[in-house]
A and B are shown apart, each in its own frame.
Chain A
C-alpha cells in the first residue's frame, strides 16, 4: 500500500505549526510527543501504520475552525478521525499530517421527540445516540457492528450501514443536516432538522465523502419510535443457490424483514466451534428478523415459514422466547471473533446484486483453493452486501500480500457482476487503487471536482478514496 511521500517542508516546520495550534487551542488539546502520537498511527486497518505530525482534540466547532484555518494557512494536510474504527484506513495519517480527532465533542445538543430528531456533536458514539433517547422509546437506526465505539462523524464520513438497513436505510437516509467546517475554517450549515433540501443537496454529497470535503462537527439525526418487538428465525439449507432463491422469494412476496443475514458453511463451522450456538451443520444459513407487535410478528413469520418450507430447508428454527432469540443471533454476532480465533483475517465489503449470490460464492470458493487461503462469508443477504473474511497469517512472510491480492480479485468479481467495491466500510486507502475497476476516468474526475470546490488545496484527507495517480496533480497543488 503506497502512501505519498510526506512533505519534508511541513515536517521541518513542526515546531512552528504546533506552536500555532497551541495558540488557538487549550493546552491539553494539542498532542505532539512521539510516544503519545503512537495512539493515532492507524485505525482498525492495523496492517498500515504511520505516526502523524501532531494530533488535536478540539471541543467545539469554533476550535475546529481555528485548527483548520491554521493548517490551511500552513499547507498542512489534515486527517479527520472519529473513533478510529475504520476498516478501510479512512483515518490513517501520513507523517506530514495533523490528526483532527472529534472524540471530545460528544454532547447531545438538542432532543426533539415531537419533530423526531436529535442534534449531537459528531464525536458522540453511534450507540450512545440511541442511548440518549432509548428511555423515551426512540432509537437511531443505522447500526454498524462497531456501534459501541464508532463515532457519528465517522458514520457520516463513510455513510455507514448495519444489519438493519434493509428496512431503515443507511446513514444518508437518516441524516437531516450538519454543521461542516471547510478546510479554510469556514463554518457551513447544510440541511436542517426539517430534512428537505432547499436547493442542491450538498448534504447528500458530504455524507460518504470520507472526510475529504469538510469536518462535520454537529449533526441533526432522524430518530424513530422503537418497534414493539422483534424476533428472528433461523433457516438452514443444503445449497447456497436455494438459500439465495429463498431470500429473493421472501422479498418478492412483499415481506420486509428488518434483517436477512446469510452465513456459509466455512463461517458456520468456525462460529459453531467458537460460540456453540447450536447451528445446523449445513451449506448455508439465514437469520431473518421481523418486527412489530406479537400478532404482527406471528403473521410475518408464518408467511416466511411458508416460503422457506417450499425450499426444502434442513432446518427451520423459531425462537419461543427471548433466550432462544439470543441464541439464534449468538453465532452471527460472534462470526468475526470466531474467524479471528482461527487466524488473522481481512474483512471485505463488496456489494453484489442478490441474484448473483450463488455464482459469486462459487467463484470465491474456487479462488480460495487457487490462493490457498480459507474464506468464510457473512452477508447482509437482503441488500447484497457481502463480508467475505479471508484468513491469513500475519507472521508468514507474503501472506498479507497474497490475502490482499485475493481480496482484490473478489472485489473485481463484485464489480463484474454489477455490484461495487464497498457497501458500507468506505474506500479509504484499502480500496483506493481499485477505484478504476469500478469507475472510468471521467467518473472519478467528476467526483474530484467536487473536492476541488470544497477543498481547493486538497489538504483534507488527501491520499484517500482516489488512486494516487489520479489525484497526484491536485495533491501537488
Chain B
C-alpha cells in the first residue's frame, strides 16, 4: 500500500487485516518484521521552511535528497549528518526523512550537535488504531505536554507511522578542516580523540579509521584556522591538516561506514563509553571503525560471535547487529524496561500490527 495522504494512511492502518511492514525507502530497515508493505513515499513535500528561524516542516515520505537540496538552496543543512547505509547494507532505494527520524539516524556530528532526536521539533503520526496524533510543533523550545517526539524518534515504526516531521536545521559553516593524526596505535589514537573532545575548541567530528585519527572543526574561516592550530599543538603523532572538500570526503567515509562495505561477515554497531572502545575491539580482534570519539564502534566480525560481542559490551554500552543472519538484532533490555516497552506498544498499537517483531 502506498497512501497519498495522511487521511488515506490512517484509513489503511485502521482497516488493516494483518501486520504491516512500515517503510520509508527501506534503506536502513533492521530486524525481522513481516507483513504487508505500507510505504510512506506518497506523503511527500516540504510544508514550511523558514531559513531565518532555522525551521523545516516536511511530510514524512519526502526523499532525504530533496530535503537536503531545499536546505542547500539557503546554505543550510540537517545538523546531525545523516548516514547513508545503502552501501553497507546492500540496499537500493530512496531514503525518506521520516525513515531518518524513525531510525534516529545520526552521523559523526552527533558529538557536537546531538542526534536526529535532538533536532526533531515535532511529529504527526498515525498510531496502530489509525488515529492521527500530533506532538511537539515547529518551535525550538516547547515543553507543552509529554515529549512523544523523542519516543517516536528511533521507534522504527513500531509505535506509529510518521506522517510529518519538523526539524531545527543549521547553517552550513563557511569552512571546515580536519586534523589527520597518523602513527598512533588504537589506544593512543582514541585517547587523542577524547582529548580533543575535552578541549574548548568545539570539535564537530572525532573518528578513527584505518589507523588514522580524524578531528574535525567547522565554522568561520578564521576560527577554524585558530582551533585547528590549537588542536594540532595538542595531538601526538604525525599530523596533517585537510581542508574543504577533501575534509568532507573523509567524513562521508566515516558517516557511511565505507571501510566495512562489501565485505563478508557480520556488522555490529556498538554504543559505548569512549574509554572502553579500544579494549572492546582489541578483545574481539575485529576490523573496526570508530566514531564519536570512540563512543560508536562499527565492527566487522565472522558470523556467530554475537555472544562474545554481548559479553564484551556488558555494562559498558550495547550492541546492535546491523548486518548479518538470524539472532536477535537489537540489544536485550532489562526486565523493567522490557515491561515498559511492552506496555507502550500495547497502548500505541493494541493489535500489534506495526512492524511486528522488529524490535523484539
Q: Which A residues have a C-beta under 8 Å from some C-beta of B?
A: 112-116, 137, 158-159, 161, 165-166, 169-170, 172-173, 182, 186-190, 192-205, 207-209, 225-228, 248-249, 251-256, 292-293, 295-296, 299-300, 303, 351-355, 380, 383-385, 418-427, 431, 435, 438-440, 442-444, 446-447, 449-454, 465
CB nearest neighbor in A for B52: A248
CB of A355 within 8 A of CB of B53, answer yes
**Contact among B227, B334, B347, B359 with A200 in the assembled complex (CB-CB below 8 Å):** B359
> Which of A199, A201, A384: most chain B CB closer than 10 A?
A199
CB-CB under 8 A from A249, the residues of chain B are 52
Closest to A190 in B: B337
Query: Is the pair A354, B53 in contact by a Cβ cutoff of 8 Å?
Result: yes
- B295 & A194 in contact (Cβ 8 Å cutoff): yes
With A353-B139, A443-B135 known as contacts, the answer to whether A427 contacts B334 (CB < 8 A) is no
For B226, what are the chain A residues with a Cβ–Cβ distance below 8 Å? 293, 295-296
Chain B interface residue count: which class?
A: 35 or more
What residues of chain B lie closer than 8 Å to A115, measured between beta carbons?
194, 273-275, 295
Known contacts A188-B337, A196-B296; A201 and B144 CB within 8 A of each other: no
A253 contacts across to B, CB distance below 8 A = 171
Contacts known (A114-B275, A204-B147, A204-B151); A169 close to B340, Cβ less than 8 A: no
Verify B197–A116 contact, CB threshold 8 A. Answer: yes
Residues A423 and B333 in contact in the complex (CB < 8 Å), given A116-B198, A251-B53:
no
> A167 to chain B: closest CB distance in Å?
10
Q: In angstroms, how far is the closest chain B Cβ from the Cβ of A388?
A: 15
Question: Does B75 reach chain A (CB closer than 8 Å)?
Answer: yes
Q: Is B233 an interface residue (CB 8 A)?
A: no
Which residues on B sit within 8 Å (CB–CB) of A208?
A: 143, 146-147
Whether B133 contacts A446 by the Cβ 8 Å rule is yes
Is B23 an interface position by the 8 A CB rule? no
User: Which residue from B140, B149, B343 sits with its C-beta under 8 Å from A453?
Assistant: B343
CB–CB A251/B153 < 8 A: no
Binding site for A on B (CB under 8 A): 50-55, 74-75, 104, 114-115, 117-118, 127, 131-135, 137-151, 153-155, 158-159, 171-174, 194, 197-200, 202, 219-220, 222-223, 226-227, 271-275, 295-296, 316-318, 320, 330-331, 333-334, 336-337, 340-341, 343-344, 347-348, 359-360
Residue of B nearest to A431 (CB): B144
The distance from the CB of A158 to the nearest CB of chain B, in whole angstroms, is 6
Q: Is the beta-carbon distance between B144 and A202 smaller than 8 angstroms? A: no
Minimum CB–CB distance from B163 to chain A (whole Å) comes to 13
Q: What B residues does A192 contact at CB under 8 A?
A: 317
Q: With A254-B171, A452-B347 known to touch, is A205 a contact of B144 (CB < 8 Å)?
A: no
| 27 A-B pairs with C-beta separation under 8 A | A113-B198, A114-B194, A114-B198, A161-B143, A166-B140, A170-B143, A194-B295, A195-B295, A200-B344, A201-B150, A204-B149, A204-B150, A208-B147, A251-B53, A292-B202, A292-B223, A293-B226, A351-B140, A352-B139, A353-B139, A380-B141, A418-B138, A419-B137, A426-B143, A435-B144, A446-B131, A454-B340
B202 cross-chain contacts in A, Cβ below 8 A: 227, 292
Please tell me if the beta carbons of A296 and B143 are within 8 angstroms of each other in the complex: no
Which one of B104, B135, B147, B173 contacts A172 once the chains associate, using CB atoms below 8 Å?
B147
Q: Please report the C-alpha to C-alpha distance between residue A203 and residue B194 in the assembled complex, in whole angstroms.
A: 25
Contact indicator A384/B171 (Cβ below 8 Å)? no
B348 contacts which chain A residues (CB < 8 A)? Answer: 446, 449
Asked if residues B132 and A197 are in contact (CB atoms below 8 Å), the reply is: no
A142–B134 Cα distance when bound, in Å, is 27
Given contacts A159-B143, A198-B271, A249-B52, contact A353 B138 (CB under 8 A): yes
Please, how many angstroms separate the alpha-carbon atoms of A115 and B142 in the complex? Answer: 29
Checking A161, A188, A203 against B336 with a beta-carbon cut-off of 8 angstroms, the contacting residue is A188
- Given A197-B154, A251-B53, A355-B52: A169 and B220 interface contact (C-beta under 8 Å): no
Known pairs A205-B147, A465-B146; list 17 more (Cβ under 8 Å): A113-B198, A115-B273, A172-B118, A188-B336, A189-B336, A190-B337, A200-B154, A202-B151, A208-B143, A251-B54, A252-B171, A353-B139, A384-B140, A420-B144, A421-B144, A423-B139, A447-B146
The 6 closest A-B pairs by CB, nearest first: A204-B150, A254-B171, A248-B52, A423-B141, A196-B271, A453-B343
The complex places the Cα of A296 from the Cα of B153 at a distance, in Å, of 35
CA distance A418 to B122 in the complex (A): 12
| Docked CA distance A256–B219 (Å) | 10
Cβ of B159: which chain A residues have Cβ within 8 Å of it?
200
Q: Are A201 and B151 in contact (CB under 8 A)?
A: yes
**Which residues in B have their C-beta under 8 angstroms from that of A444?**
145
B133 / chain A contacts, CB cutoff of 8 Å: 442-443, 446
Cα distance, A252 to B155, chains bound together (Å): 32
In whole angstroms, what is the CA distance A199 to B50 when docked?
Answer: 32
Asked if A353 meets B114 with Cβ closer than 8 Å, knowing A187-B336, A424-B143, the reply is no
Indicate the member of A158, A225, A435 with the most B CB atoms within 10 Å: A225
Across the two chains, which residue of chain B brings its CB closest to A444?
B145
Whether A170 lies near B141 (C-beta < 8 A) is yes
**Closest beta carbon of chain B to A178's beta carbon, Å:** 12
A353→B53 CA distance, assembly (Å): 7
Which one, A195, A196, A300, A351, contacts B141 given CB within 8 A?
A351
Could you tell me the distance between the alpha carbons of A443 and B144 in the complex, rounded to whole angstroms?
12
